[in-house]
Amino acid sequence: MYQSLERQCKNFHLYVFAFDDVCYEFFKKENYPNLTVVSLKEFEDPELLRIKPGRSAGEYCWTSASCTILYSIETFKLDNCTYIDADMYFYSDPKVLVEEMGSKSVLITEHRFTPEYRGSEIYGKYCVQFVTFKNDAKGMEVLRWWRNACIDWCYGRIEGGKFGDQKYLDDWTTRFEGVHELQYLGGGLAPWNLQQYLFENNNGKKTGTEKTSGKKFDAIFFHYHGLRFYNNEVVSLTGNDYEMTDDARAIFYFPYVKELLAVKKQLQTKLPGVNVDGATVPSPELPFTLKSSFIKYLKDTKRSLSNVFGKSMSSKLKHFHYFFYNTI
């Protein structure tokens, strides 16, 4: 993600909040330009430490998202700050997204769920993936409200109209003044909405076309939610719930995985003994092939040949996301 920002942005500074000592020491030693690493010891305040024992690791990360933005603005005297997830990759300068805000003080990005996935809106209409706050009265009002709400309640369950940190965003455009919902289609590409677009490479640029409107756009960033590595040299591109298209797989996912594997090799020399890709278990399923499908069929006599080679086969090809490293 940092390298993609370096390629696309003339002017940026990334503040990395390291939630373990290995991460902190690595970035401190490497001393990358345009990057400041912040340790938990520097970042955590009494309120965060008070609620930390009652939150899971994931819930604590969600709780901390708004706090990292507030810390960055106040500590480094920033005019504005954008929170971005670490599993994102930039393909064009994101300044076009921030510029779309105009005079507004807060920018939020919608999930834009493909119709068959709209049931997931119970977890939030908006995604905490690219959220911008200006250091002005309206922006700081929203940010402090969000931080306080997450300190009070931020859990991985649906309860009282809340879910994690992101369901809070649902009513911001009516609760507060100065909140802008991103309109540019190239910001917020993700596995839950890629089915709505046709993608292609155009003179080194990754571009998309919305199927329903024919509207064309440059890809600004892609959110690789759910991508996971396994210790049997298999990678899962995303959760099996989402249909994968051939163009998205070829244009976005495969090049991204290749770059991650290259970075992994570099890190293994600098961090010997550290599990840099998080792979701890073998994949629950092996990559899909006609051979593996037929073997599975033979083990399940209840399935008919039409299920293996008909609609079921088509569904597997669209929804199966496991690949061996050496086939990408």
- Tens of pLDDT, residues 211-256: 999 999 999 999 999 999 999 999 999 978 899 999 999 999 999 9
126-134 sheet: strands from edge to edge: 80-84, 126-134, 106-110, 179-181
Q: Are 199 and 208 in contact (CB under 8 A)?
A: yes
* High-pLDDT (> 70) share of the chain, %: 91
For position 319, what pLDDT does the model report? 55
Least confident of 47-51, 76-80, 237-241: 237-241
Q: Are 85 and 190 in contact (CB under 8 A)?
A: no
Distance CA 98, CA 88 (A): 17
Contacts of 281 (CB under 8 A, 6+ apart): 230, 231
Asked whether the predicted pLDDT for residue 172 surpasses 50, the reply is yes
* High-pLDDT (> 90) share of the chain, %: 86
Q: Measuring CA to CA, which residue among 190, 175, 171, 165 is closest to residue 112?
A: 190
Asked whether the predicted pLDDT for residue 110 surpasses 50, the reply is yes
Asked whether the predicted pLDDT for residue 39 surpasses 90, the reply is yes
For position 239, what pLDDT does the model report? 75
Residue 323 β-bridge partners: 235
* Mean pLDDT over the full length of the chain: 92
For position 210, what pLDDT does the model report? 99
- Angular region, 110: left φ>0, alpha ψ -120 to 50, beta rest: beta
Total-model pTM: 0.91
Asked whether the predicted pLDDT for residue 294 surpasses 80, the reply is no
Contacts of 270 (CB under 8 A, 6+ apart): 26
Give the pLDDT band of residue 311 (cuts 50, 70, 90): very low
Neighbours of 49 (CB within 10 A): 10
Give the pLDDT band of residue 308 (cuts 50, 70, 90): very low
Alpha helices (H) in 193-288, listed in sequence order: 246-248, 254-270
**What are the phi and psi torsion angles at 181 (to 5°)?**
-95, 120
Which domains, from first to last, does the chain contain? Answer: 2-191 (3.90.550), 226-328 (no CATH)
Distance CA 255, CA 192 (A): 19
The token duo for 212 is 């329903």
**Dihedral (CA of 50, 54, 56, 58) sign:** negative
Distance CA 306, CA 266 (A): 46
Asked whether the predicted pLDDT for residue 147 surpasses 90, the reply is yes
CB-based burial, 290-317: b 16+ in 10 Å, e otherwise = eeebeeebeeeeeeeeeebeeeeeeeee
For position 321, what pLDDT does the model report? 86
The token duo for 84 is 């971005």
